[in-house]
Amino acid sequence: MAGKMNEAFIAGREVIEQGEVATYIPELGKANKNDLGICIKTLDGKVFTEGDYQKRFTIQSISKVISLSAAIQICGYDKVFSKVGMEPSGESFNSLVELDLRKNLPFNPMINSGALTTASLLVPYMTFEDMLDYTKKVCMDEDITMNDEVYRSEMKNSSRNRAIAYLLESKGIIENGVDRSLMLYTKMCSMSVTAESLANFALLLANDGVSPVDNKRLIDSRNVQVLKTIMLTCGMYDGSGEFAVKVGLPSKSGVGGGLMSVCDKEAGIGIYGPSLDGKGNSIAGCKILEVLSNKMDLHLFSRTKMDTE
């Protein structure tokens, strides 16, 4: 396993140059393009790491999975999916065209319009501190804090998300105020995690929502099934289809460079690589997962058992 991970890691490193760090949130532009880290944790307790797997970066869109989880738990499946769809959008993550022209609901909770909607559902019940506590729990990482610089930087440059939120409000989808929803959403995106925290979260999802540390159930089984399915179909924005073919693992990326993947019933993978492809996905992260999936037969629809020797 360690050898194959190393080969995949080297393949990932080779494509870093072809991508760019995000700059539309100026603070993210300060990231080191060459950083790369990976952490894999298996349900039988093995841990494989390489590179910058303990370096902190902002979770960005991966928080959309956490918000969706909390929203379904608190507001219920029916309420959440009366406000947001479950179809891939085929548009970029911060698009609003499809929302205005083609559909009255955000396509899915993994793009900005959908996550602003789940944030608005949470606003009456959860403060940001509550969401931070929930995130610490599911990521098994007590050291997660909000990165204030990234938060301010995004809030100063949030015209597009604000426009999406106002459009949603005009359609009656956001009910609890544009400002409060946008603030909660942006704070969630600004939480600092590591590749290891993401591997922990992915491992929790791989284990059907039961903590592998103390066997306590943190997320209902049915909700975990929903999260993994939506990650598989929508987690990589308008790259989700190609990624599902090439990698075949429920995954979620963020423009901070994070990427998490679930090897169901077996392992969680967390990656940090801030050089992004044109769709906003970690370019080295995608390459690593593609190589790893091929070498280790990880695709959901291949299935021999993972060989961790």
Binding site for ligand GLN (CB under 6 A): 60-61, 93-94, 112, 154, 161, 189, 254-255, 280
At residue 41, the 3 state secondary structure works out as strand
Structure tokens at 142: 């007590």
In the complex, minimum distance from the CB of residue 235 to ligand GLN, in angstroms, rounded to a whole number: 11
Given the residues 33, 41, 53, 61, the one annotated as active site: 61
Tokens 């298996």 label which residue?
42
* Catalytic residue status for 151: no
* Catalytic residue status for 237: yes
Nearer to ligand GLN, 112 or 192 (CB): 112
* Catalytic residue status for 166: no
Phi, psi of 79 (to 5 degrees): -65, -50
Q: If 0-12 CB within 10 Å is exposed, 13-18 middle and 19+ buried, where does residue 281 land?
A: buried
Nearer to ligand GLN, 42 or 112 (CB): 112
Nearer to ligand GLN, 144 or 189 (CB): 189
Structure tokens at 102: 């083609």
Nearer to ligand GLN, 255 or 298 (CB): 255
In the complex, minimum distance from the CB of residue 306 to ligand GLN, in angstroms, rounded to a whole number: 28
Chain-centre distance for alpha carbon 132: 15
In the complex, minimum distance from the CB of residue 260 to ligand GLN, in angstroms, rounded to a whole number: 12
DSSP 28: G
In the complex, minimum distance from the CB of residue 189 to ligand GLN, in angstroms, rounded to a whole number: 4
Cβ-contact 280, 202 below 8 angstroms? no
Given the residues 185, 252, 253, 282, the one annotated as active site: 185
Given the residues 33, 41, 55, 64, the one annotated as active site: 64
Given the residues 53, 151, 237, 272, the one annotated as active site: 237
Which residue's C-beta sits nearest to ligand GLN? 61
CA nearest 288: which of 249, 240, 255? 249
The neighbour count for residue 195, using CB atoms within 10 Å, is 31
Say which amino acid occupies 119.
A
* Residues annotated as catalytic (active site), given as ranges: 61, 64, 185, 237, 255
